[in-house]
Chains A and B, each alone.
Chain A
Amino acid sequence: MIHSLFLVNASGDIFLEKHWKSVVSRSVCDYFFEAQERATEPENVPPVISTPHHYLISVLRHRIYFVAVIQSEVPPLFVIEFLHRVVDTFQDYFGVCTEAAIKDNVVVVYELLEEMLDNGFPLATESNILKELIKPPTILRTMVNTITGSTNVGEQLPTGQLSVVPWRRTGVKYTNNEAYFDVVEEIDAIIDKSGSTITAEIQGVIDACVKLTGMPDLTLSFMNPRLLDDVSFHPCVRFKRWEAERILSFIPPDGNFRLLSYHVSSQNLVAIPVYVKHNITFREGSSQGRFDLTLGPKQTMGKAVEAVLVSSQLPRGVLNANLNPSQGTYTFDPVTKLLTWDVGKINPQKLPSLKGTMSLQAGASKPDENPTINIQLKIQQMAISGLKVNRLDMYGEKYKPFKGIKYMTKAGKFQVRT
């Protein structure tokens, strides 16, 4: 099981270590640093590294490497999932997961880690339970604690820990009862030179914010549940009911949680919201290159495409770019050769474009690689797969909650090759 955890910052310093079994010397991280040196980019450090006596499994989140040390055969995904949970918990407790935040709350961090693992076995990883055991630091509580001498460690056994619904604590009370659901879809796509789709898929999630009194039992049904053939549920969802009726039935955790994530694969037709017309050329022998880019909406069902951000890694030979955007602003970093263009909203009547020239190193040969264009965008009030919630019902409690459902489409890894 998980032996130890080291937190390493971007400059390669270990700023926190925690051991759940015997103490492992921090020199074990030298192997990690070696791998880090070899990797060209921070994210290229291999996630599983073997050393003569241990295995190092790491994830990189918020520019911090979380390096877990294991000694025996442990499923690596188990470790990675656990590390994700650690990151999520820190974020949940401190708002951000940064080196400064962790150092500021080092004792809480330590208490949390101790509570999350016992002898390397996960103990309490649900944020609900943890919050009952160790209360998150707030300014008010710190003040109160200082004055009254009370602590932020819970004195009672968390109620949910052993119940059949470990994700929900009992005795939840709200004056305003509300349940909000966000359907968020991300399109991952690769578009080739000619504009045809090579692969496109949708990663969707339904995130919920449920603040309901007591033990509510919710059901959520869809207009078109057929779309969801590849789903992962929060443990609260009753799987049998879904199998039989295609209805989500669950007792929700208290607060924010991810109810469901789903995947609409490339075999279904995936609508592509924008198109890109591009002409990026370099001529042999000339020290100039042409850059010409126009964006337009494609299949958006009449909704506006907003927050469009185009970025492209230009070839190393490009010294500078002199471009003229029809709207928004652009920047070109001559060191990293990263071109970003903050477009904003696409107006279908007046398509945004970015045109101009790139200057190349004099005398250098024409670059071999073709830059790939990366697009980020947002479309409000639409789930691009067409998924629609039919109704949300509550059983088990008498009051009438506020209900709300929001849709949003984003670009995930949306790439256009040139």
Chain B
Amino acid sequence: MTDSKYFTTTKKGEIFELKAELNSDKKEKKKEAVKKVIASMTVGKDVSALFPDVVNCMQTDNLELKKLVYLYLMNYAKSQPDMAIMAVNTFVKDCEDPNPLIRALAVRTMGCIRVDKITEYLCEPLRKCLKDEDPYVRKTAAVCVAKLHDINAQLVEDQGFLDTLKDLISDSNPMVVANAVAALSEIAESHPNSNLLDLNPQTINKLLTALNECTEWGQIFILDCLANYTPRDDRESQSICERVTPRLSHANSAVVLSAVKVLMKFMEMLPKDLDYYGTLLKKLAPPLVTLLSAEPELQYVALRNINLIVQRRPEILKHEMKVFFVKYNDPIYVKLEKLDIMIRLASQANIAQVLAELKEYATEVDVDFVRKAVRAIGRCAIKVEQSAERCVSTLLDLIQTKVNYVVQEAIVVIKDIFRKYPNKYESVIATLCENLDSLDEPEARAAMIWIVGEYAERIDNADELLESFLEGFHDESTQVQLQLLTAIVKLFLKKPTETQELVQQVLSLATQDSDNPDLRDRGYIYWRLLSTDPVAAKEVVLAEKPLISEETDLIEPTLLEELICHIGTLASVYHKPPSAFVEGSRGVQHKRLPATANSPDASSAAAVADAPPAVIPSQGDLLGDLLNLDLTPTTTGPTPAVSTGIQMGAMDLLGGGLDSLTMIDSVWVQVWVPAMKAKGLEISGTFARRAGVIQMEMTLSNKAMSVMTDFAIQFNRNSFGLAPAGPLQVLIPLSPNQSIEVTLPLNTVGPVMKMDPLSNLQVAVKNNIDVFYFSCQYPISILFVEDGKMERQVFLATWKDIPNENESQFQIKDCHLNAASSKLQGSNIFTIAKRTVDGQDMLYQSMKLSNGIWVLAELRVQAGNPNYTVTCLLWVQNT
């Protein structure tokens, strides 16, 4: 007696019969009927018409029947919202049941009913269940919050469920903790900027404790959550690593990979000379290798991730080449990935082995795989220089097999080898030419034509070969046409006497008979070049080409860093940042690896971030933004984004920015745009601060023959948010040989982006002729505001509070103290105090930048010594 009987239908009409059975008095018959209904539902039949009859069966003490009815409800409540209300009462009652299984089941099912009216009734029972004495109920309720949030986010926030959920992270039961983390992570995904998972050392400790005791799935949630944390220092990072490493021996591969992610990320912070660093590297290899002995689907995901790991830290798997050797019955998707990793791991030490394998693969049956194997041989040649010769001879062997697609692929890669090692392997050209006729794929044809053109002087019948291609010019693909055009021009430049006719033919084919704009344009360029200045043409067409390198197929480093943070996720399988493809990820935060502990700039950046804690919301965000430079333009108040901008500014002020401090009152009138470069418009100018307003004072000179009108100006985003306060006031047209002086008031509420150097400003000026771009530097003094005079006491207190990391010292020469003082005041650098200690004169000054950064300075001069020492401290006001 099996369930398949539920699928048999009678002639009378299934629904009708089921209805009758559902309303039967006999319990047994009822249950059978509900089972039939569920069976129909599973195969996608519409049984929603039975809704009221099924719901009537809900009031029962038979648990199986209750579960079945719940199953039905979850599927169909949405289509029958009014009827679903009928079920609410039973749910609320069940939430009070003495049996925790029933309480949990009720709250679980209610969350799955996506009907607004029902969710209102859900709140009270849910609140009770979140505080239930039974952990099984609590953990079910935690998930229910995530469900509810998906249906009605506002309701969850209003009811304060998020806070209750956060409290559950400290629950005594590890399963409850794991589910709370899972629920919070899911909610956080739809609110990338909410600070839901506020990770601090205490919560991290709780998570690590729960990690040891919860189920495998809970471990995955917790590990993924841990990966978002940025440890304060290398010691914390090490202690977390130590507690995570046992997870590498877990039987569940998803746990292993999540643990690898945490370790790969936190490892960045460990100093490389630490013993533990080496131990960790060694521990990472075996679990990764073990993943490769699992089922093919797991292997595939593992291989995609190993591909990333190998690029970031090749040392982990450098001795494990053999596990990537391809078995002939691996699925094709595994084969291709293994091949890719083999090339990444190829080195001088193992190249002989790799080449022997690749040659073996090139004789396999699967065409895609064979092609990739041949291509891999070429990549080995480019990557490992010592092996190039052997690779070329292997490729020649393969060409001898005369298997059409092998030959074509081999020719494409030999072209690349020529580009990497010019003038080394030309002896093989003769062999290549033998196979000219068998080439039918555009890429191979183009490659061959490129080779012929490039080495035209060594191929006696180059003109004949190219001519033969020219016959079917119009049938070729664009790739081949372009290549043929270039090759023939090259040939002409090398052997001008015999090939004049050929070149004219191809030029006319390209320019007159072709519809392809690319081809036509290239044809015209060559034509003009050849007709005006053959010497120049030679320089252009036969110019030395940059060598290609193996790096071309590597993932770009910043992307790689981000992907390492996403090991084990879809992003790591697609090798794309999550923002590029995950649906509904509104403003996904870019994750970055934490900086190494001993890299100076990053650690001091972190230190600066530490100093004013109120300004910086969390270090993780800051580091992310610091590296990202993706600052949002803001005009009101210091938001986190702006303050990070300030932080950066502060850092650089301490660095190079102070050079300009010492040149405060020299007026730089500079020529920003010479007339030559801007079609006759010359722009020169300077910056100044007058009566509290920053001004850009420009002289526009028309050195062209025609009148210029319609001037406008725009700034790119810059370090301090400088922006024009109004339009450029050039009201009268500028006639030839006329100059005009314009003053443009500026404000500092524009978008912020860190520039290098810090005071760099990129400007676009437009007139009726064109748009011109230039960049200039403004003296930092224009940013010092008038109210930069600090009270003495405040100055003293602040001076002490500023950490050493924010301090910097400079030497300046030849200046007079008293004169300096008044001069500085003119530039809004205020002298606060002056004293003499041990024959040293000290001058204390304060200034404030337009973005709220205070700079406190101490000017120290030793009698008789013309050198002054300036000590500068930076302070960001916590407003």
A residues with a Cβ closer than 8 A to B are: 1, 14-23, 26, 39-41, 43-44, 46-48, 50, 53, 55, 57-60, 71-78, 80-82, 84, 103-111, 114, 118-119, 121-122, 125-126, 142, 146, 149, 151-157, 161-162, 164, 166, 188, 190, 192, 198-199, 201, 203, 229-235, 239-240, 243, 258, 261, 263, 265-267, 313, 316, 368-370, 372, 374, 413, 415, 417
User: Whole-angstrom distance between the alpha carbons of A369 and B144 in the complex?
Assistant: 58
Chain B: how many interface residues by the 8 Å CB criterion?
108
The reply to whether the CB of B220 lies closer than 8 angstroms to some CB of chain A is: yes
Q: Could you tell me if A369 and B583 are in contact, using CB atoms closer than 8 angstroms?
A: no
The reply to whether the CB of B83 lies closer than 8 angstroms to some CB of chain A is: no
- Tell me which residues across on chain A come within 8 A of B403, comparing CB atoms: 368
Q: Could you tell me if A73 and B327 are in contact, using CB atoms closer than 8 angstroms?
A: no
Q: Could you tell me if B295 and A59 are in contact, using CB atoms closer than 8 angstroms?
A: yes
A-B CB contact pairs (8 Å), 15 listed: A72-B585, A106-B38, A118-B143, A119-B143, A121-B179, A121-B182, A122-B217, A125-B215, A146-B1, A154-B63, A157-B134, A201-B323, A233-B250, A265-B320, A266-B323
Q: Could you tell me if B3 and A229 are in contact, using CB atoms closer than 8 angstroms?
A: no
Partner of B584, one of A71, A122, A372: A71
- Tell me which residues across on chain B come within 8 A of A1, comparing CB atoms: 182, 186
Q: Whose C-beta in chain A lies nearest to the C-beta of B327? A: A413
Q: Could you tell me if B357 and A198 are in contact, using CB atoms closer than 8 angstroms?
A: yes
Q: Could you tell me if B246 and A47 are in contact, using CB atoms closer than 8 angstroms?
A: no
- Tell me which residues across on chain B come within 8 A of A74, comparing CB atoms: 569-570
B301 to chain A, nearest CB (A): 5
B405 to chain A, nearest CB (A): 11
User: Whole-angstrom distance between the alpha carbons of A110 and B286 in the complex?
Assistant: 38
Q: Could you tell me if B364 and A114 are in contact, using CB atoms closer than 8 angstroms?
A: no
13 additional A-B pairs beyond A60-B297, A84-B295, A161-B136, beta carbons within 8 Å, are A1-B182, A41-B331, A47-B300, A71-B584, A73-B571, A75-B224, A106-B42, A107-B6, A151-B62, A155-B101, A190-B325, A261-B251, A415-B328
Q: Could you tell me if B364 and A369 are in contact, using CB atoms closer than 8 angstroms?
A: yes
Contact segment of B15-23, B67-75, B381-389: B67-75
User: Whole-angstrom distance between the alpha carbons of A50 and B143 in the complex?
Assistant: 27
B37 to chain A, nearest CB (A): 10
Q: Could you tell me if A230 and B290 are in contact, using CB atoms closer than 8 angstroms?
A: yes
User: Whole-angstrom distance between the alpha carbons of A85 and B297 in the complex?
Assistant: 14
Q: Could you tell me if B175 and A162 are in contact, using CB atoms closer than 8 angstroms?
A: yes
Q: Could you tell me if A48 and B573 are in contact, using CB atoms closer than 8 angstroms?
A: yes
User: Whole-angstrom distance between the alpha carbons of A162 and B179 in the complex?
Assistant: 13
- Tell me which residues across on chain A come within 8 A of B298, comparing CB atoms: 77, 80-81
- Tell me which residues across on chain A come within 8 A of B146, comparing CB atoms: 119
Contact segment of B253-261, B455-463, B699-707, B783-791: B253-261
The reply to whether the CB of B39 lies closer than 8 angstroms to some CB of chain A is: yes
- Tell me which residues across on chain B come within 8 A of A261, comparing CB atoms: 251, 290
List B319-369 residues whose CB lies under 8 Å from chain A.
319-320, 322-323, 325, 327-329, 331-333, 353, 356-357, 360, 363-365
- Tell me which residues across on chain A come within 8 A of B44, comparing CB atoms: 14, 17, 26
Mask, B725-749, CB within 8 Å of A = 1, is: 0000000000000000000000000
B743 to chain A, nearest CB (A): 53
- Tell me which residues across on chain B come within 8 A of A199, comparing CB atoms: 322-323, 325
Partner of B289, one of A230, A370, A374: A230
Partner of B297, one of A59, A198, A415: A59
- Say whether, besides A55-B570, A233-B249, A369-B364, A114 and B220 are in contact (CB < 8 Å): no
The secondary-structure label for the interface of chain B is helix
Partner of B101, one of A18, A73, A157, A192: A157
- Say whether, besides A118-B108, A199-B325, A232-B250, A368 and B401 are in contact (CB < 8 Å): yes
List B210-252 residues whose CB lies under 8 Å from chain A.
213, 215-217, 220, 224, 246, 249-252
The reply to whether the CB of B578 lies closer than 8 angstroms to some CB of chain A is: yes
Q: Whose C-beta in chain B lies nearest to the C-beta of A200? A: B322
Partner of A77, one of B254, B323, B363: B254
A269 to chain B, nearest CB (A): 13
User: Whole-angstrom distance between the alpha carbons of A108 and B3 in the complex?
Assistant: 9
Q: Could you tell me if A125 and B217 are in contact, using CB atoms closer than 8 angstroms?
A: yes
A-B pairs, top 6 by smallest CB distance, nearest first, are A230-B286, A104-B2, A151-B64, A153-B64, A47-B297, A77-B254
B residues with a Cβ closer than 8 A to A are: 1-4, 6-7, 27-28, 31, 35, 38-39, 42-44, 62-65, 67-68, 71, 75, 78, 99-101, 108, 111-112, 114, 134-136, 140, 143-144, 146-147, 150, 173, 175, 179, 182-183, 186, 189, 213, 215-217, 220, 224, 246, 249-254, 256-258, 286-287, 289-290, 293, 295-298, 300-302, 319-320, 322-323, 325, 327-329, 331-333, 353, 356-357, 360, 363-365, 401, 403, 566, 568-571, 573-574, 578, 581-585
Q: Could you tell me if B150 and A73 are in contact, using CB atoms closer than 8 angstroms?
A: no
- Tell me which residues across on chain B come within 8 A of A153, comparing CB atoms: 63-64, 67
Q: Whose C-beta in chain A lies nearest to the C-beta of B581? A: A50
- Tell me which residues across on chain A come within 8 A of B302, comparing CB atoms: 77
- Tell me which residues across on chain A come within 8 A of B353, comparing CB atoms: 198
Q: Could you tell me if B136 and A162 are in contact, using CB atoms closer than 8 angstroms?
A: yes
User: Whole-angstrom distance between the alpha carbons of A22 and B74 in the complex?
Assistant: 9
Q: Could you tell me if B300 and A75 are in contact, using CB atoms closer than 8 angstroms?
A: no
User: Whole-angstrom distance between the alpha carbons of A411 and B15 in the complex?
Assistant: 54
- Say whether, besides A73-B578, A121-B143, A267-B319, A78 and B220 are in contact (CB < 8 Å): yes
- Say whether, besides A153-B64, A166-B215, A263-B290, A119 and B250 are in contact (CB < 8 Å): no
Q: Whose C-beta in chain B lies nearest to the C-beta of A70? A: B570
Q: Could you tell me if B289 and A47 are in contact, using CB atoms closer than 8 angstroms?
A: no
Q: Could you tell me if B1 and A142 are in contact, using CB atoms closer than 8 angstroms?
A: yes
B776 to chain A, nearest CB (A): 44
Q: Could you tell me if A374 and B114 are in contact, using CB atoms closer than 8 angstroms?
A: no
- Tell me which residues across on chain B come within 8 A of A53, comparing CB atoms: 583
Q: Whose C-beta in chain B lies nearest to the C-beta of A59? A: B297
Q: Could you tell me if A263 and B250 are in contact, using CB atoms closer than 8 angstroms?
A: no
Q: Could you tell me if A110 and B217 are in contact, using CB atoms closer than 8 angstroms?
A: no
Q: Whose C-beta in chain A lies nearest to the C-beta of B357? A: A198
Partner of A234, one of B215, B251, B323, B568: B251
- Tell me which residues across on chain A come within 8 A of B327, comparing CB atoms: 188, 190, 413, 415
- Tell me which residues across on chain B come within 8 A of A313, comparing CB atoms: 328, 365
- Say whether, besides A119-B111, A119-B147, A149 and B28 are in contact (CB < 8 Å): yes
User: Whole-angstrom distance between the alpha carbons of A316 and B366 in the complex?
Assistant: 12
Q: Could you tell me if B323 and A121 are in contact, using CB atoms closer than 8 angstroms?
A: no
A192 to chain B, nearest CB (A): 8
Q: Could you tell me if B251 and A258 are in contact, using CB atoms closer than 8 angstroms?
A: yes
- Tell me which residues across on chain A come within 8 A of B365, comparing CB atoms: 313, 316, 369
- Tell me which residues across on chain A come within 8 A of B39, comparing CB atoms: 106-107
User: Whole-angstrom distance between the alpha carbons of A118 and B140 in the complex?
Assistant: 8
- Tell me which residues across on chain A come within 8 A of B186, comparing CB atoms: 1, 72
Q: Could you tell me if A73 and B570 are in contact, using CB atoms closer than 8 angstroms?
A: yes
- Tell me which residues across on chain B come within 8 A of A192, comparing CB atoms: 356, 360
- Say whether, besides A16-B42, A107-B38, A48 and B301 are in contact (CB < 8 Å): yes
Q: Whose C-beta in chain B lies nearest to the C-beta of A14? A: B44
